[in-house]
């Protein structure tokens, strides 16, 4: 492993905003760096999977690959959600096709029909002759599952800390929005980007690029100039911004008074991979999952009060449009990550959230001590006084 690159990564991940610069470009393409991130981050932390509402019925499942590890979350007949390894204990075949589905009863391997129940227990295998596989030794590994505000997270490590401890204090800023109202979920088809997962995350969390990359999509609605900080830590970060209101004066008068928070959005960043935008109308997100050092998967989804029957219409055309813009710019940056002479430079104030993300990475990869929790005066807008 390139120790010089790792040391530069560690130094960059530990810097505060005043001294922060772009990370070494090679950390976005180096295979050894990626493998270390897969082990230390994605195999050892809470990873967002999907909306709980999409798994509401017995037999519902969602299968996905996290940094090379196939997993499936299944709604069991006992009413519990379980995260299971999606790898057959016989010859390693993926059991369930990726995406959402529904079990008729058991999980049956498509290769040799080895069968498991919805708790991961090995039920049996056909035509084994005199060889009888030990049932206890051939069960599927089971991982930790927790839900937060209608979102499902899993942790692949052996003894994870509770998700609630990881997210301590976050709910204090969300009360005005009434997340319990949002019962309907949607997940758009996965997109495959030729970009390192960190590039996609960094692009998704900072507002600095909106005025340039999203001139006709996001910028008119959520201008870069109106973005601000709310609260941050290495475990979660909240930023916000004023949403432009194009309604007429009469329409605003008819709508009556409402809390100032409803004029703003909150960007909820739960590293390593969940980026949510919360408004009074719903919680919408993108999740970023690594594939290899130079490729990632990006999935958009959301929760609202209204059922989504298809991905047609202006709302989803808008989402596809700004994601296409993001994909182009991230893939453009990726092409330069193998530069030997070229390098990045200073981060600016609107990129504080990148510093938070790097402190998170530093804590997981290098055991670095992140900066203390911080709250700005903008937080007062979102803290609901009973």
Q: What is the pLDDT of residue 255?
A: 46
Mean local confidence (pLDDT), 191-205: 98
Q: Find tokens 């010859």 and name the residue.
A: 91
Position 47 confidence tier, pLDDT thresholds 50, 70, 90: very high
Q: Is residue 386 part of a domain?
A: no
Return the CA Rg of the chain. Answer: 22
Q: Cα separation of 354 and 20, whole Å? A: 9
- Does 84 have pLDDT greater than 90? yes
Total domain count, the chain: 2
Same domain for 76 and 135: yes
Same domain for 29 and 83: no
**Cis-peptide, bond into residue 272, ω within 30° of zero:** yes
Which phi and psi (to 5°) does residue 195 adopt?
-155, 145
Q: What is the pLDDT of residue 252?
A: 40
Mean local confidence (pLDDT), 262-286: 96
Burial class (CB in 10 A: 0-12, 13-18, 19+), 88: buried
Q: What is the pLDDT of residue 386?
A: 59
Mean pLDDT of the chain: 94
Of all residues in the chain, the percent with pLDDT exceeding 90 is 89
Tell me the CA distances in angstroms from 153 to 39, 47, 78, 270, one per residue in order: 17, 5, 19, 11
Mean local confidence (pLDDT), 328-337: 98
Q: Cα separation of 344 and 24, whole Å? A: 7
Question: What residues pair up with 142 in beta bridges, in sequence order?
Answer: 84
Position 253 confidence tier, pLDDT thresholds 50, 70, 90: very low
SS (H, E, C) 240-279: EEECCCCCCHHHHHHHCCCCHHHHEEEEEEECCCEEEEEE
Q: Is residue 269 part of a domain?
A: yes
Q: Is residue 182 part of a domain?
A: yes
Q: What is the pLDDT of residue 245?
A: 65
Q: What is the pLDDT of residue 310?
A: 85
Terminal Cα distance for the chain, rounded: 54
CB 325 within 8 A of CB 308: no
Same domain for 295 and 262: yes
Q: What is the pLDDT of residue 257?
A: 61
Name residues whose C-beta falls within 8 Å of residue 278's C-beta, 6 or more positions apart in sequence.
Answer: 174, 177, 179, 265, 266, 267, 268
Q: Is residue 266 part of a domain?
A: yes
Same domain for 176 and 144: no
- Does 163 have pLDDT greater than 80? yes
Mean local confidence (pLDDT), 177-193: 96
CATH code of the domain containing 205: 3.90.380.10
Tell me the CA distances in angstroms from 12 to 345, 354, 360, one per residue in order: 11, 11, 12
Q: Cα separation of 341 and 336, whole Å? A: 10
Mean local confidence (pLDDT), 285-303: 98
Mean local confidence (pLDDT), 156-168: 95
Mean local confidence (pLDDT), 110-117: 97
Same domain for 176 and 119: no
Same domain for 277 and 179: yes
- Does 384 have pLDDT greater than 90? no
Same domain for 222 and 359: yes
Same domain for 52 and 35: no
pLDDT digits (tens, 9 = 90+) for 335-353: 999 999 999 999 999 999 9
- Does 247 have pLDDT greater than 50? no
Position 254 confidence tier, pLDDT thresholds 50, 70, 90: very low
Of all residues in the chain, the percent with pLDDT exceeding 70 is 96
Q: Is residue 128 part of a domain?
A: yes
Tell me which residue range forms the domain holding 363: 3-41+169-381
3-state helix, strand, coil in the chain (%, to 5): 30, 30, 40
């Amino acid at each position: 492993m390139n120790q010089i690159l790792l040391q530069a990564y560690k130094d960059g991940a530990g810097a505060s905003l005043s001294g922060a610069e772009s990370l070494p470009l090679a950390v976005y393409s180096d295979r050894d760096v990626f493998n270390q991130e897969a082990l230390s981050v994605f195999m050892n932390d809470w990873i967002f999977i999907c909306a709980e509402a999409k798994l509401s019925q017995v037999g519902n499942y969602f299968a996905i690959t996290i940094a090379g590890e196939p997993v499936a979350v299944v709604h069991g007949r006992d009413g519990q959600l379980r995260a299971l390894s999606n790898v057959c204990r016989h010859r390693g075949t993926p059991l369930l096709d990726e995406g959402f589905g529904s079990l008729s009863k058991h999980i049956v391997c498509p290769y040799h029909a080895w069968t498991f129940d919805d708790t991961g227990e090995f039920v049996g295998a056909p035509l084994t002759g005199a060889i009888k596989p030990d049932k206890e030794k051939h069960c599927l590994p089971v991982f930790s599952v927790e839900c937060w505000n209608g979102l499902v997270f899993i942790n692949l490590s052996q003894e994870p800390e509770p998700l609630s401890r990881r997210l301590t204090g976050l709910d204090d800023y969300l009360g005005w929005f009434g997340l319990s109202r949002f019962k309907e979920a949607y997940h758009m088809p996965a997109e495959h980007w030729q970009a390192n997962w960190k590039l996609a995350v960094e692009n998704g969390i900072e507002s600095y690029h909106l005025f340039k990359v999203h001139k006709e999509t996001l910028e008119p609605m959520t201008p870069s100039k109106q973005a601000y900080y709310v609260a941050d830590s290495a475990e979660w970060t909240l930023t916000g911004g004023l949403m432009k209101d194009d309604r007429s004066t009469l329409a605003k008068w008819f709508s009556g008074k409402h809390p100032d928070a409803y004029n703003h959005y909150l960007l909820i960043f739960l590293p390593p991979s969940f980026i949510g935008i919360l408004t009074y109308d719903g919680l919408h997100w993108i999740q970023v999952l690594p594939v290899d050092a130079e490729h990632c998967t990006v999935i958009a989804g959301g929760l609202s009060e209204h059922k989504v029957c298809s991905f047609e219409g202006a709302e989803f055309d808008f989402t596809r449009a700004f994601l296409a813009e993001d994909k182009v710019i991230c893939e453009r940056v990726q092409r330069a990550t193998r530069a030997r002479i070229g390098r990045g430079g200073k981060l600016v104030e609107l990129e504080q959230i990148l510093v938070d993300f790097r402190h998170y990475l530093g804590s997981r990869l290098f055991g670095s001590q992140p900066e203390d929790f911080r709250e700005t005066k903008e937080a007062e807008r979102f803290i609901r006084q009973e």
